[in-house]
Amino acid sequence: MLSPYVLKTLLCALVALTYFGAVEAISPGYAVARRQAASRTHEAREFMTNAERLRRGFPLLPPRSLNPTKAGLAARTAPSGVSYSRKCIEVRKKGNTGGFPTSYISELFVSGTGTFGVVNNKNKCLEVLVPNFNGPFDLAIDGENGSEKYLGLALRNGRDYVIPVKAVQSSSSAQNGNSNDSGFGSNNTPLSRSTVWGKGTSDAVTVNWDSYPVTFWMRENPGPANDPERIYFAINNGYSNDFNDDFEVLLSYVNPTNGNGN
């Protein structure tokens, strides 16, 4: 049989439970307040230092990084897995190649202009950095600094061709600068685009301009290293009709003479 003391203790506990249950039933806000207080207590524990938690008998928190970007959370700014190879752009005549030596887009401008031409000396080729996917992509000029460090194509008003120039980086549809007929200077490139290049079968150079598959044309056989000849990139079918004496050439990415392209 239970002693009077034990019976008194059980009776007091039963009265207390009955009281708090009745209060919660009568006032739902009381229960909410209790839960909020418990939540605040939990949050306070989370912001305690480990020294405070140790004094109060709470478990220690695990270490936290003070710089989450070092844990790989920063957004990537470049595609993953892209590598680049240093290349020249080789020029060959399509079809009958008689009298046309293997040639290259030159690092020199055509005399009196700001446009790149074609020479028959590989040592004077323009070296560009070609990414390892099919395109469209930019071709950065190896060793070139400043904003105009890309091989781009520029258009004059009313023409059905574009020609190679130094260009700022731009999309395949954007055009930078103002159109003019005063010549293409490296510091005044009219209506140029840089993200127009691609790579086809056997490292063939491909170019797309407003969804038109560009073809490549010349009017003269390539000159020596110090005298490059012009090359034209036809952006519509009208070019071959207007300049039917020109001959078509094919372009491809090849390794330079002073390295394996890496």
| Residue 182's pLDDT band (cuts 50, 70, 90) | very low
Q: Reduce the DSSP state of residue 88 to 3 states and report it.
A: strand
DSSP string, 186-254: TTB-TTEESTTEEE-GGGBEEEEETTEE-EEEESS--B-TTSPBP-EEE-STHHHHHTTT-EEEEEEEE
What are 89-128's pLDDT values in tens digits?
Answer: 999 999 877 778 999 999 999 888 888 999 999 999 999 9
Residues 61-71 have a mean pLDDT of 48
Residues in CB range of 236: below 8 A, 6 or more apart: 160, 212
Q: CA-to-CA distance for 198 and 133, rounded, in angstroms?
A: 8
Residue 172 pLDDT > 70:
no
Q: Could you give the C-alpha distances from 102 to 91, 121, 239, in angstroms and in order?
A: 6, 9, 24
Q: CA-to-CA distance for 156 and 221, rounded, in angstroms?
A: 24
Residue 222 pLDDT > 90:
no
Residue 192 pLDDT > 90:
no
What pLDDT does residue 146 have? 84
Global pTM value: 0.65
| Residue 178's pLDDT band (cuts 50, 70, 90) | very low
What's 125's DSSP letter? Answer: B
**Both tokens assigned to 212:** 């038109």
| Residue 68's pLDDT band (cuts 50, 70, 90) | very low
What pLDDT does residue 216 have? 96
What are 230-251's pLDDT values in tens digits?
Answer: 999 999 888 877 787 899 999 9
What pLDDT does residue 205 have? 97
Amino acid letter, residue 211: S
DSSP string, 128-151: EEEESS-SSB--EETT--SS--EE
Q: Reduce the DSSP state of residue 57 to 3 states and report it.
A: coil
